[in-house]
Structure 1
Amino acid sequence: MGSRAHSWLVGTAFDDSAIDDAVADLVAGEKTWAHTPLRRRRELLDDIHTRTGRFSHEWVRAARTIKGLDPDSPLVGEEWMSGPMPLLQATAALSATLTALAAGRSPLDGVALAEAPGERVAVPILPLDRYDRLLLSGFHGEVWLRPGVDADTARRRAGLAQLDPTVTGGVGAILGAGNITSIPPLDVLYELYAHNRVVALKLNPITDPLYTVFEMVFAPLIELGVLRILTGGAEAGGYLVQHADVAHVHMTGSMRTHDAIVWGPEGKSGGQPLLDKPITSELGGVSPTIVVPGEWDGADLRYQAEHIATQRLHNGGYNCVATQAVVLSAEWPQKDRFLAELRDAIERAPRRRAYYPGSDDRVAAALDSYPDAERLGPDHGRLLVQNLPTSATPLLRTEYFSPVLGVVELPYTGGEFLQRAVDFANDEVIGTLGVNVIAHPGTIKRLGTAFDRAIERLRYGAIAVNAWTGLVFLTPRASWGAYPGHTLDDVQSGIGVVHNAFLLDDVERTVVRGPFRPSPRSLLRGELALSPKPPWFVDNATAAATGRMLTEFYATANPARLPGLFLSAFRG
């Protein structure tokens, strides 16, 4: 969930000899990695899993310090659920993949592949076991492969570089994110296991307080000589990515930072990229949420308004898939009531510090463009911009990476609204990382294949129906990245994917679906959802305790922890 600090553009002093030494260690370590068998690679994952659980409290303490969160704030739950918890899930999922490969099996053996619209293969990723069904009841997810890839090919290619672990890919440089603390560790695992590249990870300066935690968590890889963790600012990053012995670069950040790395200070006008090696990236964008008109009751209106407030304000708004544009039907009879609930949800969301560099400046820039925007929240620092133009307006072309939310109204109803909204999201909004669609179950049923076709036509790497694409980030076997097809000349939300613990080839997108209503209303209406409010909602009163308990459960898989976890979740 991409970082937006322009640390690349802010020079700081650095020691190039430290980078040279680290890269030299990795050049030697590549040979070690090539001779590390699958069984040992799985053991390393299991060791990292154990160490992540052991040091999770130190991890969250450092993250809380970075973000200025009160120790007793429910918002600390975000740091549990987007910090150590995803790494625990990823190491367990990758370990299962390595176990299958070491036994000569495909990671997809025993997985019932399905069909997705457009003659695609769908790989189920959620739920996969009884704990998924309990902890994420009502949520479902699939990875869709590109058209033309059949089930046999999917099974045969699953495993990527681990199908022949002796063929390594050189030294990979990772420029880490500064917003979500699990991003750099997850990127390290993907470079090592999906691509067989040993890794030089340069932390974003914002996350330097996590340096020691990451050293402790990844000690087995550091001791093996296949990982080095570096600090420093722009100059250090520039030296690292241009290093002669670095074969590949992966970064999380903004399009602006990406283009500075690839094209240099002169930009694309120079003609030839400054970077002479491959680069993959996750760059965010302007994420839309499409609200399909229907007949909702008052509780539905309130809950989905809180849902969208969370999509914008989780982590203070500093997420690459934070909703920035809400797309509504101008003809929806309940539109005004919904907007009133949305305004109230944004106003009531907990106070928090604007910890991410440049946030206030970006809010000010949005105010310059939209002086009539409503200023909401305890500090009046959250902007709600209504009646946006449907094209050629800054909010649809600029990722503000701050608590700025716009509303676009399209003059259509029913199925026509949905199809026009899909066109709008595809053509008018910059970026292709994530899109959300909220629709009443009765509306989905009434639209039938037209709804399925609309989901298929969305050109996004993550699609969430009655859920938030942040859940895709948290699901270890989901793919995470832009819709395929971007180039260095028009990079949009980036190139390539990460996470993807099945190590699937030919990935196109991940689609998740959630319950329209929480429990108990969901149970009364035939939806199997046990949670009264997902723990990632910004107004969940027990998010800190639930996040900690979830992390502790994923560290041990001890079912004795479940009763306390459920009690905390139900009180949220």
Structure 2
Amino acid sequence: MAFFPVTDPAVRQDFPHHIAGVWSAPEGTARRRVFDPATGAVRWSVPEGSAADVDRAVRAASAAAPGWAATDPDERARLLRALAALLRERMADLAALESAITGRPIREMRAQMARIPEWLEYFAGIVLGLEGGSNQVKGGFLTWTRYRPHGVCALLTPWNHPILILVKKLSAALAAGNAVVIKPSELAPVTPLLLSAWAAEAGIPPGVINVVTGGAEAGAALVAHPEVAHIDLTGGTATGRRVAAAAAERLVPCTLELGGKTPLIVYDSADLDEAVAGTLFAGFVAAGQTCVSGSRILVQRGIYDAFCRKLAERVERLTQGDPADPVTNIGPVISAASRDRCLGHIDKAKAEGARLIAGGTPRTLPPELAAGFFVPPTVFADVTPEMTLFREEVFGPVISLTAFDTEDEAVALANAGPFALGASVWTRDILLAHRTVARLKAGVVWINDHHKNDPRSIWGGSGDSGYGHENGWDALKSYLIKGSVTLRTAQDFGDWFAGGKRYG
């Protein structure tokens, strides 16, 4: 079965694993239910992957890795472009399915899906330009660099961007010549399975891409597997610590893209309406469920009151409802647990004295959405650094506003806390923008915009936000092991123990 009729909401779909290029039944009978977050109904199910399932997938990847690594980069690039073309053909169905599974409004998903093939095409292109260097060195030696893939890579992907984040990782890994085993989030595992099946259709050899679904048991078995040589995780900070510890135990390299508490600095030199619109996007796209959601809005006191008023007015006008409706601005959060956590943050912010200026109470929704996991888009003003909402990641549509007076104060507030992934600066004063950016510890910074992404733009953080990079040459090279070769060019061999001269 190559293509599932995935968009019919009346059809319950039960998926197997996808291993060695084919749909593959699990070793056990346990299954995990996957909910439609807009209705609370079970729409899909996947296997609860076991250590035996993981081992089967890793062995398939291990068997395929040497042949894929030996494939000419031109051919690897051609196959990546073939997969990109297939994704473009099926974009409408893929966007509808991602929207249904994640709860993201269809308008958002269509915009995101339209760009996903670019990652496959970009890495298909740059791998052809991968070059080593050479030097003639002291003593009659020539040295040059070479690259080789790790072999089997584990890709652990999140639920908020199931295909986008997977394709970011997968494109670099495959272009570099690695085989992969993917463990998608148990909350949104379906589209990665389909992507693996479509890759087989595109001609990517069996075993190069494998997907095992499940929860913590499957993830732990994958990162601990002795044949996994590189791990790439996007997830929460707590999960990242566990994965990093497991990788360190085996001295396996990691890329970790973890949590965030992203600040937006809005100076009084900003275009006020533009900054309000940018904040609305930063804070509420994907219902605030992205690693760089603008959750801490720092506004200079001269425009603070006007900013609060304008933002509150726009938040109240956001349409919340069915993700499949093109007019919907805000869908549900991913799960009942996420909903309850967000509502808990709202209650705590009220109790700690933050001033509620928008949202805060559930909106009236149609009966068919009554059991969905909806959180009202919510804004609190006058949030101080001591409050929980200022410090902790919400991962939902709840944001805070804090006033500041000086440039130094803005930077100190932005840098407060253990996260260092994203930030944005809003000002028409270019000198001020440059000074501020130079002092921010965030790994990804935007000026007068937010959350723009491109295959060429390095993406990664530090501290509790992880380490390593996605996108660009850094991502490709992270999936390669760089080595050197030294060749003696001198006619005579320097036999050291016979009195010869050696350099080194």
Change (3 A) 1:231 1:221: farther
Alignment of 1:114-193 (within 5 A): 164=146, 167-181=148-162, 182-193=164-175
Check conservation: 1:59, 1:213, Cα contact below 8 A: no
Deviations 1:360-383 (A, max 9, x none): 222233134311542517727233
Check conservation: 1:284, 1:320, Cα contact below 8 A: yes
Provide the TM-score with structure 1 as the length reference: 0.64
Secondary structure at the counterpart of residue 400 of structure 1: coil
Deviations 1:481-500 (A, max 9, x none): 11xxx4xxxx4111100121
Structure 2: 5+ residue runs without aligned partners?
A: 1-33, 35-46, 136-144, 321-329, 364-374, 479-504
Question: What does residue 436 of structure 1 align with?
Answer: 424
- Would you say 1:61 and 2:61 are equivalent positions? no
Change (3 A) 1:275 1:423: farther
Shift of 1:185: 1.9
Cα distance in 1 for partners of 2:285, 2:196 equals: 27
- Would you say 1:88 and 2:57 are equivalent positions? no
Shift of 1:168: 2.1
Secondary structure at the counterpart of residue 189 of structure 2: helix
Deviations 1:36-78 (A, max 9, x none): 1121121122111111112212211211211346xxxxx3121
Change (3 A) 1:462 1:34: same
Find the partner of 2:342 among 339, 363, 368: 363
Cα distance in 1 for partners of 2:248, 2:121 equals: 39
Question: What does residue 485 of structure 2 align with?
Answer: none
Check conservation: 1:261, 1:275, Cα contact below 8 A: no
Question: What does residue 306 of structure 2 align with?
Answer: 337
The residue identity in structure 1 corresponding to 2:419 is G
Check conservation: 2:349, 2:389, Cα contact below 8 A: no
More strand by share: 2
Cα distance in 2 for partners of 1:164, 1:192 equals: 18
Shift of 1:338: 1.5
- Would you say 1:420 and 2:391 are equivalent positions? no
Cα distance in 2 for partners of 1:87, 1:451 equals: 30
Deviations 1:347-368 (A, max 9, x none): 1122044231222222233134
- Would you say 1:383 and 2:354 are equivalent positions? no
Question: What does residue 290 of structure 2 align with?
Answer: 319
Alignment of 1:110-509 (within 5 A): 164=146, 167-181=148-162, 182-193=164-175, 196-219=177-200, 220=202, 222-263=204-245, 277-294=252-269, 300-330=271-301, 332=302, 334-351=303-320, 352-357=330-335, 358-371=337-350, 372-374=354-356, 375-376=358-359, 379=363, 381-390=376-385, 392-410=386-404, 412=405, 417-426=406-415, 428-439=416-427, 441=428, 443-444=429-430, 448=431, 450-468=432-450, 470-471=451-452, 473=453, 475-482=454-461, 486=462, 491-500=463-472
Choose 311-320 or 28-37, whichever is displaced more. Answer: 28-37
Cα distance in 2 for partners of 1:347, 1:63 equals: 26
Check conservation: 1:94, 1:502, Cα contact below 8 A: no
Shift of 1:454: 2.1
Structure 1: 5+ residue runs without aligned partners?
A: 1-6, 70-74, 107-151, 154-162, 265-271, 507-572
Secondary structure at the counterpart of residue 207 of structure 1: coil
When Rg is computed on C-alpha atoms for both structures, the one with the higher figure is 2
Count of residue correspondences? 396
Deviations 1:379-404 (A, max 9, x none): 272332221223x4322331110111
Same amino acid, percent of matched pairs: 24
Shift of 1:453: 2.6
Secondary structure at the counterpart of residue 498 of structure 1: coil
Cα distance in 2 for partners of 1:274, 1:369 equals: 39
Shift of 1:505: 6.7
Check conservation: 1:325, 1:408, Cα contact below 8 A: yes
Provide the TM-score with structure 2 as the length reference: 0.72
More helix by share: 1
Shift of 1:245: 1.3
Change (3 A) 1:232 1:52: same
The residue identity in structure 1 corresponding to 2:185 is N
- What's the RMSD between the two structures over aligned residues? 2.9
- Would you say 1:48 and 2:71 are equivalent positions? no
Shift of 1:16: 2.9
The residue identity in structure 2 corresponding to 1:208 is P
Deviations 1:73-113 (A, max 9, x none): xx31211222x333211122223313434xx799xxxxxxx
Change (3 A) 1:505 1:227: closer
Choose 200-209 or 276-285, whichever is displaced more. Answer: 276-285
